[in-house]
Amino acid sequence: MAVDPKKTFSDEEIAARLAAELPKWRLEDGWIRRTWRTSSWKGTLMVINAVGHLAEAAWHHPDITASYAWVEVRLISHDVKGITERDFQLAKKIEDVVGWQPGEEPGSALEGTPRGDLRFAYIKYD
């Protein structure tokens, strides 16, 4: 079944989907939002660049606010002034990429950034 990319969801539908699919995201002022705490400006820039790549590839662009040790991503479909399937799908992809921790995967040869050494700190995973 084809998905209508411009169908907007009600606040109740959005809250239910976020709870079920994206529990670290929230609905606020008509946007779905997620804030990541980072360990430094380096981590902040890495999050921004990852989100920027995904958004450009998807041709669906979030608003981003950042400071030294945090990044907030806000999604809305500007053309229909509401939350659509495009917002949920991009949020899921962002969550998968930014939240990926290779050291957490059983049997992975990728160990992830060293823990306990602030020189390599990246995201403060929640």
pTM beyond 0.85: the answer is yes
For the chain, what are the domain ranges? 28-100
Q: What is the mean pLDDT of each run of 10 residues along the chain (126 residues)?
A: 89 98 98 95 95 97 96 97 98 95 82 78 75
Q: What DSSP assignment string belongs to 88-116?
A: HHHHHHHHHHHT--GGGSTT-S---SPTT
Q: Which of 15, 19, 3 is nearest to 89 (CA)?
A: 3
Q: CA distances (Å), 23 to each of 39, 54, 81, 93, in order?
A: 22, 20, 23, 14
pLDDT of 105 reads 77
Query: CA-to-CA distance for 54 and 19, rounded, in angstroms?
Result: 23
User: What fold characterizes domain 28-100?
Assistant: Gyrase A; domain 2 (3.30.1360)
